[in-house]
Structure 1
Amino acid sequence: MLALIAAVAFGGSAFAERILILYENESTQPATMEIAQGITRRLVEDKRHVELYSEYLDLVRFGSDADRQRLIEYLRVKYTGRPLDALLTVGPSALRFALAERDLFAPGVPIVFGAVRGFPEDVPMPPDATGVLSRFDVKGTLELARRLQPDAKRATILTGSAPFDRSWKETARTLLGEHYAGFDIDYLDGLSLDGFKAKATALPADSVLLILTVFADAEGVSYIPRDAASRIATTSGAPVYSVYSSYFEGTVLAGHVGTFTAIGAEMAALALRLFDGGGTAPPATQKEVALIDWRQVVSRGIARDRIPEDAEILHYKPTAWEQFRLPIILGLSVIAAQALSIAALILQNQRNRRLEDVVSTQRLELAHMSRHSQVSQLSGTLAHELTQPLTSILANAEAGRKIARAGNADLGEIGEIFDDIVADNKRAGEVIAQLRSMMRKGDVSVERIDLNDAMRSTVALINAEMVARRTQVSMSPNAEPLPVQANMVQLQQVILNLILNAADAMAELPPKQRKIEIATRLGENGARQLTVSDAGPGIAPDQMAEVFKPFVSTKDNGLGLGLAISRSLVEARGGKLVFDGMATRGARAVVTLPAG
């Protein structure tokens, strides 16, 4: 058979190196095809013009002297007058044939061999021969079997009945003997394929079966060794091993092997070295590795930690951790960082809440103290507010008693007296209720309050004080209700503090100029506003922020807490308390609260 490759000659040469490859087996052998693939791939990679010829000697099936003579004559006729540059031989029989007969069809052509365990001992190695030595490592394979199956006691070496098979048996017996690597060695041959299958089926799971080659069985039936090995291995009770990479199709567990594709590539590299003038190099030994089929590892229950670290594993499906270890580590790191951040935020939030609780408690305490202070300031007017209704009640009661004793009682007049007593009593009760609210300490409830009502009730509470201070207070309520969410007592405390501050600011003015204007209105974005304006000297622009700080006061006897507490109470409801820098006269305090 002739296969011609006109490879890679960009602007190619008119001359090309010619290579003749002699394969000892037929073209359908898997090992033959893999070696051919390796040779072709390496020559194509080199990008040179090469004419490649291939001959399949099939010496296993056509090995008689007559067959040999016909083959020699065929090659002589075919290649005489067609000069060759390299002769590549695949397999030991092809190498022996070339050494003995090349002068008849390829005289003086250098030889590159491959797929042989060693150069024939009975033939001197010519200086123009080089190649790739393969160990087809029987010893290494049994040592690998010992590692994978530490409890196994017996190993069976299986070979066919063809001359090559018998040669393999003798080689294995020489290398292994009757005991090797802790195994008792049995040699199985001289059977039909069915006989081999029956014997393999009977092997225990804690033993080892090493299949070498079966080119033919005892009945003379020829086989492709890989196919015969596969059919035997399928029925085997013991794990199956091999020294050939081409056997690994799902039925072989492991072996210490080199690939046939690599053998072909190395043979082609040696041929190219010849073409480049490098001469024949000493034969090189092919690198072999522990080859393991993961499917058989799983099927046979082999522990993962028994597999050598440098082994090549076929059909292995890595776990998600093995495939995505780095992304998983990064992802877990991000998650851990996020978890720590979340935990830190939760702790910080809890700490902030505790701090807010402390601040809220302190604000309530200060507000309560401030109300005490305000009530102390109003004690005189509050006493006057209570004295008036009590005095009126006493006067009405005495008048009613006189009318009753006179004997000419006018029921209508007595009814009016009782009405006055009830009204005065209610007035006194309201004063006392407001006083109790101002003095009460405890939880603060928030409710819907009309800002207009809060303004009116506060002015009513402080009216007597303003009269005593000879200060006029006017109100300008908004035409519509202005509902806010607030606590009435706290809101009254804020308004009361602003009114008292306004009155204090005008203490040095003549009574007729002491005027306080209180107004409510609808602000921007629906906000509610209450303003307290006075006619005093006002506040310097650089002091408008300072006066809200604790212990800052413009009064000689002031503590500087009233405005700070008032702002705190307003801000606690989402509002603001500031002084209007645009006021043209005196000072104008502005309370802004969100809509209720």
Structure 2
Amino acid sequence: MVKLRFMLAMVCFTWWITATSVAIAAGDADAHPIKRVLVFYENESTLPAAMEVAQGLRIGLDQRFPTGIDIYAEYLDIVRFPAPEHMLRLATDLEAKYADVTFDVVMAVGPGALKFLLDNRSRIAPGVPLIFGAINDARLKDEQLPPGVGGVVSHFDVPKTIDLARQLQPNAKTVVVLTGSSEFDRGWAKISSKLLEAYRPKLRVEHLTGLTLEGFKERVQRLPPDTILLILSVFQDADGRRFIPRNAAAEIAVASSAPSYGVYSTYIGIGVLGGYVETFQSIGEDMATLAEQATNDSATPQLIRSTGQFLVDWRQMKRWGIDVELLPADADLRFFEPTVWEKYRLQILAMMGVIALQTATIGALIVQGRRRRRIELALDQERLELAHLSRTSQLGELSGAFAHELNQPLTSILANAEAGARLVDTKPVDTVELREIFSDIVADDKRAARIIAQLRQLMVKGETQLDQMDLNDAVAATVALASSELVARQTRLDFHSDHSELAVRGNLAQLQQVVLNLILNAAEAMSNLGPAERRISIRTRKCEDGFCELMVADRGPGLTAEMRENAFKPFVSTKAKGLGLGLAICRSIVQAHGGTLRFDEHKHDGARVILALPPL
């Protein structure tokens, strides 16, 4: 029982909510009823002007009637069906069609539509405010507007269009006015003839009408370039063919040998240069404004004038070579195609700035590169000078050993020469012994020559020239050169090679300088050891990567990690009287050969220097 009562209560509550919502909605509908508007267009629905007016009406009405608007549209197509009998039948049909519909506003687009409604409004929409648009004020002079009629009076201004043409073509002497053969076209011819009377003292005015479309095109092809061609409307040509005026104007404008002008905004962009026009969309929006005013009980329809403007096609200005500077200041230039400079000015300036910066940077790099090369050449020359001085210094250290080395063959030569002199005085002369003496002299002389040649090789001065050579031969020659000095220092040297030949590309004198420096440094490191412990080990080998290595090891105190790191820096030395340039010069020489020179950090009993040179 309780459950049944609960369900009954819920049903009653739901019914109450629904009834209340319907009542509120009905109240809102009564407070803001949907407006009904009936629009009559003079021409067919495909006419561009009619389409633009319809678009403007829809935009304007939607904005001014946010609660909703119901639009009815009728296209009278008067140009194609102008017969009065047809108009009567059409009025009868429309009266029956809308007998049960009440309109808030009725609209007429075009003079023909206005005349139709003035004649038949009492039958179709009696007592309803009438708003018109797209009608020239010259055509309204013949109409007596009754009460309740307002609208947008258009200019379609022929005089201002001619003024624009004269401003753009100051040398023009003739105006040709082109119209078709329909009743609307003939009306334009009559209106334009009156409007252009004021220009006849300065311009010759010609009317071009009564031709076929082909005749119009052929005629305008022969116009002088300084002619002003004004295309008004061509709904119909002399053969009775019907046209959309915009399409006919496009063909005529393209064929013309003179600039063409028009009073309709729909002509701009199809080949017509320009004119003083109102856009049909703005006319539709103005009509919507008047419709809103007309729906107020206290308001009566007004007459307002549409706003016109100079509208010009930039492409046609370019086609006819007319300077843009001749345009009025308030002209609207359509279809403007800026030049690359005008369109991308900032980008071009930025790009030019980047290019200029890059050019300056490249120029600075070139100058810097040349300066660097000059400095490098100067440094190379100074390095060669320093290396030569280092070799000279080393030879100075070895002067005693060299003197001893040369003294032996020279002493032998002297002894053999004295013995030979004594032998010559004996009778008979022992030729066999004399020949042996001469052979000893020759051998000792060659030995001295080799020593001097080695000294000259070390003393040579000039640019570094790399030749193919055997690293083992260079080491052996250097060991021979230092042998006397090592004997004097009571130091033993062992030379061992893992390969019979280690082919490298280098400069013999400079490599000998490096090896000699390493040998003397090793000997110097063991100066505090006993003669029996002084031993230098030299080994050459070929690594897996193809590099040829020379290792010079001693049994001296070795080097700390810090000393190994700084040993190759200039002016760093462990010798009391050393300048600290020997190893720095050696490393620069080795690097110039594409190799490396380093201490072996894994050897702790003494020091080991490793020289690595790239293979051929």
Normalized against structure 1, the TM-score is what?
0.83
Q: Counterpart in 2 of 1:148? A: 168
Deviation, 1:388, is 1.7
Deviations 1:362-392 (A, max 9, x none): 1111111111111111222222222222222
Q: Counterpart in 1 of 2:332? A: 311
Q: Counterpart in 1 of 2:401? A: 381
What one-letter code is carried by the residue in structure 1 that aligns with 2:312?
A: L
Q: Counterpart in 2 of 1:506? A: 526
Q: How do 1:337-486 and structure 2 match up within 5 A?
A: 337-406=357-426, 413-486=433-506
Question: 1:30 and 1:393, CA in 2 relative to 1: closer, same or farther beyond 3 A?
Answer: same
What one-letter code is carried by the residue in structure 2 that aligns with 1:360?
A: D
- Alpha carbons 1:521, 1:528 under 8 Å: kept: yes
Q: Counterpart in 2 of 1:580? A: 600
Instruction: Determine the C-alpha separation between the residues in 1 that align with 2:420 and 2:615.
Output: 51
Instruction: Determine the C-alpha separation between the residues in 1 that align with 2:268 and 2:167.
Output: 19
Deviations 1:521-544 (A, max 9, x none): 334633332222223333333233
Aligned equivalent of 1:552, options 552, 572, 584 = 572
Q: Counterpart in 2 of 1:7? A: none
Instruction: Determine the C-alpha separation between the residues in 1 that align with 2:255 and 2:607.
Output: 106
Q: How do 1:52-131 and structure 2 match up within 5 A?
A: 52-60=71-79, 68-118=87-137, 120-121=140-141, 129=149, 131=151
Instruction: Determine the C-alpha separation between the residues in 2 that align with 1:150 and 1:419.
Output: 120
Instruction: Determine the C-alpha separation between the residues in 2 that align with 1:574 and 1:395.
Output: 49
- Alpha carbons 1:551, 1:559 under 8 Å: kept: yes
Deviation, 1:400, is 4.1
- Alpha carbons 2:274, 2:310 under 8 Å: kept: no
Question: 1:307 and 1:403, CA in 2 relative to 1: closer, same or farther beyond 3 A?
Answer: farther
Q: How do 1:176-325 and structure 2 match up within 5 A?
A: 176-179=196-199, 184-189=203-208, 191-193=210-212, 200-215=220-235, 224-230=244-250, 232-248=252-268, 250-264=270-284, 267=287, 271=291, 283=304, 285-286=306-307, 288-292=309-313, 294=315, 296-303=316-323, 311-314=332-335
What one-letter code is carried by the residue in structure 2 that aligns with 1:362?
A: E
Query: What is the total number of aligned residue pairs between the two structures?
Result: 581
Instruction: Determine the C-alpha separation between the residues in 1 that align with 2:356 and 2:297.
Output: 63
- Alpha carbons 2:178, 2:209 under 8 Å: kept: no
Deviation, 1:401, is 4.6
Deviations 1:213-262 (A, max 9, x none): 24456898766544554554455332211112333574423333344355
Instruction: Determine the C-alpha separation between the residues in 2 that align with 1:273 and 1:21.
Output: 16
Percent identity between matched residues is 46
- Alpha carbons 2:596, 2:611 under 8 Å: kept: yes
Question: 1:200 and 1:588, CA in 2 relative to 1: closer, same or farther beyond 3 A?
Answer: closer
Question: 1:505 and 1:145, CA in 2 relative to 1: closer, same or farther beyond 3 A?
Answer: same
Deviation, 1:562, is 1.6
Aligned equivalent of 1:35, options 50, 53, 74 = 53
- Alpha carbons 1:133, 1:286 under 8 Å: kept: no
Instruction: Determine the C-alpha separation between the residues in 2 that align with 1:303 and 1:224.
Output: 32
What one-letter code is carried by the residue in structure 2 that aligns with 1:112?
A: I
Deviation, 1:208, is 1.0
Instruction: Determine the C-alpha separation between the residues in 2 that align with 1:299 and 1:583.
Output: 90
Question: 1:271 and 1:480, CA in 2 relative to 1: closer, same or farther beyond 3 A?
Answer: farther
Instruction: Determine the C-alpha separation between the residues in 1 that align with 2:169 and 2:368.
Output: 59
Question: 1:27 and 1:591, CA in 2 relative to 1: closer, same or farther beyond 3 A?
Answer: closer
Aligned equivalent of 2:581, options 539, 557, 561 = 561
What one-letter code is carried by the residue in structure 1 that aligns with 2:91?
A: I
Q: Counterpart in 2 of 1:5? A: none
- Alpha carbons 1:156, 1:188 under 8 Å: kept: yes
Question: 1:357 and 1:130, CA in 2 relative to 1: closer, same or farther beyond 3 A?
Answer: farther
Deviation, 1:211, is 1.5
Q: Counterpart in 1 of 2:39? A: 21
Question: 1:399 and 1:344, CA in 2 relative to 1: closer, same or farther beyond 3 A?
Answer: same
Deviation, 1:571, is 2.1
> What secondary structure is seen at the aligned counterpart in 1 of 2:443?
helix
Q: Counterpart in 1 of 2:188? A: 168
Instruction: Determine the C-alpha separation between the residues in 2 that align with 1:198 and 1:323.
Output: 39
Deviation, 1:458, is 0.9
Question: 1:364 and 1:276, CA in 2 relative to 1: closer, same or farther beyond 3 A?
Answer: farther
Q: Counterpart in 2 of 1:592? A: 612
Question: 1:252 and 1:435, CA in 2 relative to 1: closer, same or farther beyond 3 A?
Answer: same
What one-letter code is carried by the residue in structure 2 that aligns with 1:426?
A: K
Q: Counterpart in 1 of 2:511? A: 491
Deviation, 1:438, is 1.8
> Gaps (5+ residues) in structure 2?
1-28
Deviation, 1:37, is 5.3
- Alpha carbons 1:178, 1:186 under 8 Å: kept: no
Moved more, 163-172 or 534-543: 163-172
Instruction: Determine the C-alpha separation between the residues in 1 that align with 2:461 and 2:147.
Output: 115
Deviation, 1:484, is 2.7
What one-letter code is carried by the residue in structure 2 that aligns with 1:86?
A: V
Instruction: Determine the C-alpha separation between the residues in 1 that align with 2:497 and 2:421.
Output: 44
Instruction: Determine the C-alpha separation between the residues in 2 that align with 1:500 and 1:232.
Output: 106
Question: 1:192 and 1:282, CA in 2 relative to 1: closer, same or farther beyond 3 A?
Answer: closer
Instruction: Determine the C-alpha separation between the residues in 2 that align with 1:374 and 1:349.
Output: 36
- Alpha carbons 2:268, 2:311 under 8 Å: kept: no
What one-letter code is carried by the residue in structure 2 that aligns with 1:582?
A: H
Instruction: Determine the C-alpha separation between the residues in 1 that align with 2:143 and 2:210.
Output: 33
Question: 1:151 and 1:122, CA in 2 relative to 1: closer, same or farther beyond 3 A?
Answer: closer
Q: CA RMSD in A?
A: 3.9
> Gaps (5+ residues) in structure 1?
1-12
- Alpha carbons 2:37, 2:70 under 8 Å: kept: yes
> What secondary structure is seen at the aligned counterpart in 1 of 2:140?
coil
Deviation, 1:38, is 5.1
Question: 1:555 and 1:98, CA in 2 relative to 1: closer, same or farther beyond 3 A?
Answer: same
Moved more, 255-264 or 427-436: 255-264
What one-letter code is carried by the residue in structure 2 that aligns with 1:138?
A: V
Deviation, 1:125, is 6.3
Moved more, 219-228 or 255-264: 219-228
Deviations 1:422-443 (A, max 9, x none): 3322222221122122222211
Instruction: Determine the C-alpha separation between the residues in 1 that align with 2:429 and 2:291.
Output: 149
- Alpha carbons 2:42, 2:110 under 8 Å: kept: yes
Question: 1:468 and 1:293, CA in 2 relative to 1: closer, same or farther beyond 3 A?
Answer: closer
Moved more, 168-177 or 449-458: 168-177
Deviations 1:11-59 (A, max 9, x none): xx99964432212234454433443455567778999865543333344
Instruction: Determine the C-alpha separation between the residues in 1 that align with 2:415 and 2:51.
Output: 133
Moved more, 261-270 or 462-471: 261-270
Q: Counterpart in 2 of 1:4? A: none
